[in-house]
Amino acid sequence: MCWFVRGKLPAIGIVSPMSCGMSKFICWIYFTLSVLMSLTLEYSLVSARTDCQPPIKDYLHFTKNITDLDNVQARQYVRLDCCASGFDTITWYFRNKNTNYSWIEFPFLYQLCDINEECPTLSPRNQTLHILKATTSYDNGTYLCVALNTSTGENISHMEDLIVYDCVDRDAPESIPPSDIITNVGQNATFHCAADYGCKSRYLRDVLWYIGEQEVNDVSKRYIVTTDNREFNPVVQANLTILNVQVSDFDVIFSCWIASDYDIETPKFPVRLRQEVIHVTKIKLILIIVVPCVFIILLVKVVQTAYGPHISYYYRSKGYFGGLPKMGINHHFHALVVHDDSRHEDNCIAEEITTTLERRGYNISNQIGGAGVSIFAHFGGSLEQSAAVIVIDMERDSEDSNKFRVFIESSLRNFSDSLVGFTIIQRKEIVNSVMDSVEYKGLKRLTWPGQHCTDRQKQKFYKQLQLRLPKPHCPSHEGVINGERTSLLVH
């Protein structure tokens, strides 16, 4: 009978041909098959645990969690993974002090790779970089892999630092302490902490993360510790990742503890998160100040253009900024509307102005020009009783233009003390205007918006006009003031 000696894998028995009761030939066959099965199974398990999966033609992404810091003993084998899918090509780059910290493409610093058996090699599809015998001078540095999808033009990349160290006997672990990290709210931050325990195996060797006397895992689920404590590897590494950094995290002091069975006090290294400070240059400062100011000025200009009269009327009707004009003791009308009755369009404009203002609570006297030679005497009574005058401009070659001009100038000279507002309504189509020949150029002039204007344009016109009139009575939608309808005075 053949008996079995248990090998590295307990599930596999290896036949010992020297202690086999069968013929030596048969035992040698069993022994060979057992060894092959053991090696095949071990290789399969290791491959399943470490190899990248074959890429498929889907979206571009990494298919395996890849470390960003690794270490290896000098003259030992190490593999760097760039497991991805959905790519067409993967290119590797490297930099360290020998490259002046500039990126160089694979094969890096090895100039005789065709004959040098210790050159790094790439596995199929370049997903894994194999470094057969790591050296502290050439292989110690930063590696970058870039996966490219040529059809979409998209690429993803991963950068990893490799520490190559010489294994030595140590009386105490050599710490590789962490450093403070500059980050901001909402980002992820990772602290790196490690220790080199040397070549001799130890009963206790561990790198731990604490907040005070409590392990970080017990404080928050956002604090994730990833430990690399491989057998026969003198370096033990523990990374602390803070997910979705909050404002409160900046007040926490994290501490990395180097635990060992050496007869020394446990080294502890406190670190903390520091919030990123934005340095404002002169250009940025100018932009920060000027851009909002320009935006506010433009916004105010737009609002002023569209609703300036509405805003001014609201405040002045409340008594601010000087208020509106006042009604005198002898004033029975808020305004007198004067126009030329020889033009049908002027009659329509005067009627619309009168009706609209009466609906808003104003008492309006509507006079039709062009009646008689004594135009000044004709309007005298109504003019004295009106707090303001609204004149619809006419053309200079009109039949009554001279009389109209005399009325305007006489009104300005003789009734300047009693007149609060004197407003001229100009029509866009009038080129040769009577008002252009009037000596007094300081009169307030408003442009009639026309028949095809928008509601907003018409409302703006009437608010501009109301700023020239005393405050109205309570508005009536039927043009009724104090219970009586205001009649139009027609002469």
Tokens linked to 416: 């300047």
- Per-residue model confidence (pLDDT) at position 451: 78
Q: For residues 173-192, give the mean pLDDT.
A: 93
Q: What pLDDT shows up at residue 106?
A: 87
pLDDT at 19: 39
Is the model's pLDDT at 316 over the cut of 80?
A: no
Going by DSSP bridges, is the β-strand pair 205-211/214-215 parallel, antiparallel, or unpaired? antiparallel
**Could you tell me the two tokens for 171?**
């009386």
Q: What percent of the chain has pLDDT over 90?
A: 26
Return the higher-pLDDT residue of 438 and 174: 174
**pLDDT score for 80:** 93
Closest CA to 228 of 266, 176, 263: 176
What does the alpha-carbon distance between residue 65 and residue 81 come to, in Å, rounded to a whole number?
Answer: 9
How far is it, in rounded angstroms, from Cα 242 to Cα 258? 20
350's CB contacts (< 8 A; 6+ apart) are: 337, 339, 366, 368, 392
Helix (H) or strand (E) holding 129: strand 128-131
**221-278 pLDDT per residue, tens:** 999 999 988 766 788 999 999 999 999 999 999 999 999 888 788 899 999 999 987 6
Question: pLDDT digit string (tens) for 81-137?
Answer: 999 999 999 999 999 988 889 999 988 877 667 667 778 889 889 999 999 888 888
Site of tokens 């960003």: 68
Q: Are strands 69-73 and 154-165 parallel, antiparallel or unpaired?
A: parallel
Confidence at residue 194, expressed as pLDDT on a 0 to 100 scale: 94
Q: Residue 21's pLDDT is what?
A: 43
| CB of 139 closer than 8 Å to CB of 228 | no
What's the CA gap between 177 and 267, in Å, rounded? 10
Q: Which of 57-71, 305-319, 466-480 has the highest mean pLDDT?
A: 57-71
Per residue in 384-415, pLDDT tens?
A: 788 888 888 877 777 767 777 777 776 666 55
Q: What is the pLDDT of residues 22-74, one digit of tens each?
A: 455 554 565 555 545 544 444 443 443 468 888 888 899 999 888 888 888 78
DSSP code, position 218: G
- List the beta strands (DSSP E) in 313-420: 335-340, 364-369, 388-392
Average pLDDT value for residue range 464-470: 86
